[in-house]
Structure 1
């Protein structure tokens, strides 16, 4: 009997992050436009070596941003992701690679801020285009480009090598009020703090989503 109780407690602890992220997704859905996913899972070759497996467990309506960073097998992984996303009704975006996005039938492209100017060439080519921003000034600059949503980072302290000083949820809320498009919170967003930004921003993350939805974790 004691062993069963321990097992049930373990299962409860394991499912808690997933429940919290699902609740945050519902809160984000309440204010985001229908065509914008409430949650975006960002892949990373080092931190999410099997993004296809994780995508198979994501709830319908969420999104995946595939970041291949020039990997030699990018075409194969993108095609596998596209198949999973179509099957599970997920929105697939390919980071900084519109040609690959076209080839696999992805829903759109995600542009790093440094390559934002390239988005103009692809205006109208995809249903969904997102871009990154790391400051209020970069977020304002997005208004001049065909961007449907912005991923603003870092919101919370993050281990990502590209993360800067965290904005914090209060600052993020302030800048979303004058943002030119819907905003996603990125950087240190986890199950325990997603509810602090979900009422006014979408959720974007790498590791916290991988841990919660990877069947192998």
Structure 2
């Protein structure tokens, strides 16, 4: 999909790179073709109004709603669901299957430490899109649709204390994985060209996506 007028150059750079990566990954692994090329990861502190970004995302993109235990998680989740449905965007919820059910999400994103629960979740929700965070350790992938490997570049948030993988190490891990792999961590429009031969199935980000797709 080509973005219509009204989007920033940064938004175009992220989306064009994400869709190019997705097409290249799908040529090797057809399963990648059904995945959102770009994932917007929410954060209660860094993205306080995530529904506004969600409403601006291109059709086919995805949102990973990470509530992190906030009291009004269901209200925010439902507002996100409304925005994503209007935009034609997938909505995944981080970790909390009950919250995902409550907001009629399209799937679930698991932390690496909880990825072992994917088989149980898949049995209960066979139609859900299931992804898991990955930092290079052993993860069961036969019931997952994709992994999100981070941090590729120096990043903020929860990944601030983790050393960056770099593009070469990311590519080596992504190509050995049994499922498609997203690139997360320090993703910026000016770095997308570095990832073009990395084997990533798409891009994922927090503040960079929010900034690029601001109204």
TM class by smaller structure: 0.7 to 0.9
- Shift of the alpha carbon at 1:114? 1.3
The corresponding residue for 2:12 is 19
Match of 1:180 among 178, 181, 189: 178
- Shift of the alpha carbon at 1:118? 2.2
- Shift of the alpha carbon at 1:179? 0.3
Distance (Å, rounded) in 1 between the aligned partners of 2:15 and 2:193: 10
- Shift of the alpha carbon at 1:146? 1.6
Q: TM-score, normalised by structure 2?
A: 0.87
Q: Which runs of 5+ in 2 are unaligned?
A: 1-6, 27-31
- Shift of the alpha carbon at 1:120? 2.1
Larger radius of gyration: 1
Contact 1:93 1:106 in 2 (8 A): yes
Describe how 1:1-217 pairs up with structure 2 within 5 A.
15-30=8-23, 31-32=25-26, 33-124=32-123, 125=125, 126-135=127-136, 138=137, 140-143=138-141, 146-163=143-160, 164-199=162-197, 200-201=199-200, 202-215=202-215
Distance (Å, rounded) in 1 between the aligned partners of 2:173 and 2:53: 32
- Shift of the alpha carbon at 1:25? 2.0
More deviation, 58-67/193-202: 193-202
The corresponding residue for 2:29 is none
Q: TM-score, normalised by structure 1?
A: 0.86
More deviation, 170-179/58-67: 170-179
Question: Over aligned residue pairs, what C-alpha RMSD do you find?
Answer: 1.7
Number of aligned pairs? 199
